Amino acid sequence: MRHNKKFNHLGRQSAHRKALLANMASSLVMHKRINTTLAKAKALRMYVEPLITKSKDDSTHSRRVVFSYLKNKEAVSELFRVVAPKIADRPGGYTRILKTGFRLGDAAETCFIELVDFNETYSAEATAAAKTRTRRSRGGAKKAAAATDNVTDAVVVEETAEGAEGEAPKAAPKAAKKPAAPKAKPAAPRTAAPKTSGAKKVAPRTAASKKA
């Protein structure tokens, strides 16, 4: 019987479940965000958050205790050197679960589990900046920019007017007129050439031709 045993066994034996959670916790510490099923993410949150709290005390004993759970030297170093200073002021709730829908094939509910302090999108500064950017403020900024543009345009117009009063307007030089081209003379009417008869003209015989 399993009375009062409320944690999720994840369909695995005890050794398999511990190895699974150790690997997932190491991946979460190294990559700061992993994609998994919702049931595994909830089990991982209960597994890894006490280890993150333990990392606030950087001592040999704390490192050995965390190593007994993670079984990974690189993950332990990352946890104590990088993650611990970032979450030093947070009293708990180091992870966040974001649902991403259902997995194809078995329709298991999937999600992201991430370390809260390593997500810049949901940081306090980003949320504060998002709250200040409203439609009204954006409209006011546009109106202020338009007002400044109008002021600068008025200043430019005044300066150009003062410059025009100080200097007399110079008349633009007129372009010299080009001499008109001479008109072409009318062509003479063509006269018909006199028609000649079909007989060929015979050259007169000279004295040389007579001797020949």
- What are the φ and ψ backbone dihedral angles of 11, each rounded to 5 degrees? 65, 30
Q: Which residue has the higher pLDDT, 168 or 112?
A: 112
Q: Is 40 exposed, middle or buried (0-12, 13-18, 19+ CB in 10 A)?
A: buried
Q: Which of 22-31, 69-78, 115-124, 180-189 has the lowest mean pLDDT?
A: 180-189
Give the pLDDT confidence of 14-29 residue by residue, as tens digits. 999 999 999 999 999 9
Please provide the average confidence, as pLDDT, over all residues in the chain: 80
Give the pLDDT confidence of 61-111 residue by residue, as tens digits. 999 999 999 999 999 999 999 999 999 999 999 999 999 999 999 999 999
Q: How far is CA 70 from CA 10, 14, 35, 50, in A?
A: 19, 16, 19, 12
| Dihedral over Cα of 71, 77, 83, 87: its sign | positive
Q: Which residue has the higher pLDDT, 206 or 115?
A: 115
pLDDT value, residue 141: 61
Q: Which residue has the higher pLDDT, 104 or 173?
A: 104
pTM given for the model: 0.58
Q: Which of 1-10, 22-31, 43-52, 174-183 has the lowest mean pLDDT?
A: 174-183
Q: Which of 50-54, 57-61, 140-144, 207-211 has the lowest mean pLDDT?
A: 207-211
Confidence of residue 198 (pLDDT cuts 50, 70, 90): low
